[in-house]
Amino acid sequence: MKHIEGVKSYVKKPIAIQAIQWTGMNLKDVIAFTGLHPSAEKWTWEEYEAVVENEGLKIFTLEGPLYATIGDYIIRGVRGEFYPCRKDIFEETYEPVDE
């Protein structure tokens, strides 16, 4: 590989994170993990379930809202933020910790 001035190699720090996989059937568990965003407080639980079923699960990240696809993992980051991560990337990046 060609040497480029200033470019160095880095290894990701081993930081334990918490995550839950979005199955499409575990909305209550996902919301218990992430908390209900204030924008959803205008609906009853049944209305909220219908919105998620019709529009998808919206995760409010530091960069703005993103939709989680069924199979994605919802990760709580090191600063308490939440974001979705595709299943394949999650499984390449993380491994379970024995608790």
| Interval 27-69: pLDDT, tens | 999 999 999 999 999 999 999 999 999 999 999 999 999 999 9
The answer to whether residue 1 scores a pLDDT higher than 80 is: no
Higher pLDDT, 8 or 82: 82
pLDDT of 99 over the 80 cut: no
**For the segment 81-98, what is each residue's pLDDT rounded down to a tens digit?**
999 999 999 999 999 988
pTM: 0.85
SS3 sequence, the chain? Answer: CCCCCCCCCCCCCCCCCEEEECCCCCHHHHHHHHCCCHHHCCCCHHHHHHHHHHHCEEEEECCEEEEECCCCEEEECCCCCEEEECHHHHHHHCCCCCC
